[in-house]
């Protein structure tokens, strides 16, 4: 999907167009900046959420872009122990603020989809058997 430049984006020397992929990356970066977000989710493949790294931030984001407005869907993975409604509301605020500030588009909605909860791996101490084993 491409954007047709709005009237105010036309200049004497041409037009300014923002690709939807750019807005997806902005939204992805804004979402993972929020404390409590473990990462972006690429969706469900076989019932398991795929956690994506920073270079794939746009994969957990879908946007609909018009001439002056944008709607965003963000799929994320939350870190265990956080209040989901608070994290989701902060994601909405941060995504909206980032897109509007960087692109000038009006963000009419930000939908947050929680696909999974990430548990921190328990630190495994070295096995005592190996430390005291006679060699």
CATH number at residue 104: 3.30.70.1350
In a domain, 23, yes or no: yes
Q: How confident is the model at residue 125 (pLDDT cuts 50, 70, 90)?
A: low
Flag whether 74 is in a domain.
yes
User: Count of domains in the chain?
Assistant: 1
Separation between Cα atoms, residue 74 and residue 62, nearest integer Å: 7
Quote the CA–CA distance of 112 and 92 in Å, as a whole number: 7
Inter-residue contact 112 to 76 (CB < 8 Å): yes
pLDDT higher than 60, residue 53 = no
Report the mean per-residue pLDDT for the chain. Answer: 81
* Residue 122 forms part of a structural domain: yes
pLDDT at residue 79 is higher than 60:
yes
- Is beta strand 106-118 parallel, antiparallel or unpaired with respect to 69-79? parallel
Average pLDDT for residues 99-116, to the nearest whole number?
A: 96
Percent of the chain with pLDDT over 90: 54
Among 34-43, 71-80, 82-91, the range scoring the smallest mean pLDDT is: 34-43
Per the domain annotation, does 2 fall within a domain?
no
Closest of 93, 82, 92, 70 to residue 118, by C-alpha:
82
Interstrand relation of 14-15 and 10-11 (parallel, antiparallel or unpaired): antiparallel
């Amino acid at each position: 999907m491409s954007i047709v430049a709005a009237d105010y984006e036309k200049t004497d020397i041409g037009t300014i167009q923002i690709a939807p992929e750019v807005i997806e990356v902005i939204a992805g970066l804004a979402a993972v900046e929020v404390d409590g977000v473990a990462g972006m989710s690429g969706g469900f493949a076989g019932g398991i959420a795929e956690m994506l790294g920073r270079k794939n931030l746009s994969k957990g984001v879908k946007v609909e872009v018009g001439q002056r407005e944008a709607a965003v869907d963000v799929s994320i993975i939350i870190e265990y122990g956080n209040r989901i409604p608070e994290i989701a509301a902060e994601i909405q605020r941060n995504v909206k603020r980032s897109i509007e500030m960087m692109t000038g588009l009006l963000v009419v909605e930000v939908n947050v989809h929680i696909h999974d909860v990430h548990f921190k791996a328990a630190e495994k101490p070295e096995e005592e058997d190996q430390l005291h084993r006679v060699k």
